[in-house]
Amino acid sequence: MKKILVILILFPVYLIFAQSKKDQIKQLQFTSDSLNRVIDFDRNTNKQKIQELNSAIVNSETKILNQGKSIDSLNSVNRSLNNQLNLKSIELDRINESNKANEKKIKSLEETNAMIQLKISQLEMEKQNKIECAEREEPNDDDIESPKLINTCTFRDLTIVIESTADEKGRYFESYRYLKFNNEVQNSEFFNSKKTELERILNEKFKSEFLKISNNPNSEGCFDDVTYENVSFGGQIDKYGYRYNEINITFNNNQISFHRTFGLPMACLSQEGLSLEFSISELEPYFAK
């Protein structure tokens, strides 16, 4: 642009010297007009640039202002979020404390429930292992005044009926009936396949007690002709309904007793038999299911 102005200025000057005054004036006027046009053009151009620059400045200021507002808005949102976060944190702490308290309650309830379940199990076991007995009397034969005593004891699905009958001298003899699910069975059917092992245990104990009694000087010769024989469940009944050389069973006082006899003379009736008592838990492995 500067080079053009120089040319425009110098060229008319050159012509001035070459032309007449009139022409010079005319030419100078033309030059002046040209310069004015150039000046106007530059002014307009500068004005437009200034306007554009002012518009840009205004836009920049607007953007800065808007950005400031956005920052303020973001800061406000951030403060709001922080407040909400703090409230949530406080609420979370409260919930955690509540959960801890609830966990303690739950643990306490679980312990209480465990104790209750244990008690229920114990009661169920007691109920299952409870032995219930009832005794009644029935008239004996016409020539015997002593009544017939019938004792019925039930344990789970097993029932033992002991009938005690007196003779003319008032001596009682017992006979046994064994029932399972109300059906009469042999007493061996109370036990599972381990009954042979149970018989071995019983015989060992019976023999030990038999030797103590038979070797007692006060036995008055009752065992002189008696030797111990291994016994098992079942056997024959003599004319008195008394079973020799077998194992009988009774339920009493939540215990199970095993009895056996030796076939002693009537004079030795007081030493005729032996009894062994066992708890239910001891015999649990041997019961038939």
pLDDT in tens, 178-210: 999 999 999 999 999 999 999 999 999 999 998
Residues in CB range of 27: below 8 A, 6 or more apart: 12, 15, 16, 19
Query: 28, exposed or middle or buried, with CB in 10 Å at 0-12, 13-18, 19+?
Result: middle
Query: For residue 41, is it within any domain?
Result: yes
pLDDT in tens, 28-51: 787 787 777 877 777 777 778 777
Same domain, 148 and 253: yes
List, in order, residues 6 or more apart from 4 with CB less than 8 Å away. Answer: none
pLDDT at 80: 80
DSSP one-letter code for 246: S
Say whether pLDDT at 21 is over 80.
Answer: no
In a domain, 125, yes or no: no
- Its pTM stands at 0.57
Domain for residue 80, yes or no? yes
Task: Please tell me whether residues 253 and 159 are part of one structural domain.
Answer: yes
**Is residue 136's pLDDT more than 90?**
yes
For the segment 7-28, the average pLDDT, to the nearest whole number, is 62
Based on the fold, state whether residues 170 and 237 are members of the same structural domain: yes
Q: Are residues 86 and 11 in the same domain?
A: yes
Tally of domains in the chain? 2
The confidence score (pLDDT) of residue 285 equals 94
pLDDT band at 275 (very low <50, low <70, confident <90, very high): very high
Q: Are residues 155 and 216 located together in one domain of the fold?
A: yes
Asked whether residue 164 carries a pLDDT value surpassing 80, the answer given is yes
| Co-location of 85 and 137 in the same domain | no
Please indicate, yes or no, whether residues 140 and 207 belong to a single structural domain of this protein.
Answer: yes
Residue of 43 and 158 predicted with greater confidence: 158
Does residue 232 carry a pLDDT above 90? Answer: no
Residue 5's pLDDT band, with cuts at 50, 70 and 90, is: low
Residue 114, domain member (yes or no): no
- Point out the domain boundary residue: 72, 96, 120: 96
Give the range of the structural domain holding residue 162, as residue numbers without chain letter: 131-286
Q: 180 and 77 share a domain?
A: no
- 243 with 157, same domain? yes
